[in-house]
Amino acid sequence: MLYYILKVIISALLIVAISEIAKRSTAFAALVASLPITSLLAFVWLHIEGASSAQVAVLASQIFWFVLPSLALFLLLPLLLKQGFGFWVSLGLAVVVTAGGYSVLLVLSRRVLNSP
């Protein structure tokens, strides 16, 4: 149980740190947020929990492909904000488009994984 609490605390501290850094330097916060910290933590937690190298490798490969739809959010959100849309509208539209991208990728990945 202590192990899971440690995992939650470390993960939460990273999110809080990024939001606090953003108050002082958006560029540095963007750099820190863009680092694959979540993925690195997942790899470490899996390794510590006894996952095989093959499992970690599969996770890393799948993360690569699922990062691609997230790029829509980072392209669309600033574009909508610069066009004068409100924050919540911009965020909502960017999230919907990103979710659509994830949906398309999920369908494609199932077809590829299930094909002979």
Could you tell me how many residues make up the chain?
Answer: 116
Coil, strand or helix at 116? coil
Name residue, tokens 């990024």: 18
d(CA 51, CA 61) in angstroms, rounded, equals 15
Taking only the tens place, the pLDDT of each residue in 12-66 is 898 899 999 999 998 888 888 888 888 888 899 899 999 999 999 988 988 888 8
What's the pTM value of the predicted model, to 2 decimals?
A: 0.69
Q: Which two tokens stand for residue 90?
A: 């911009």
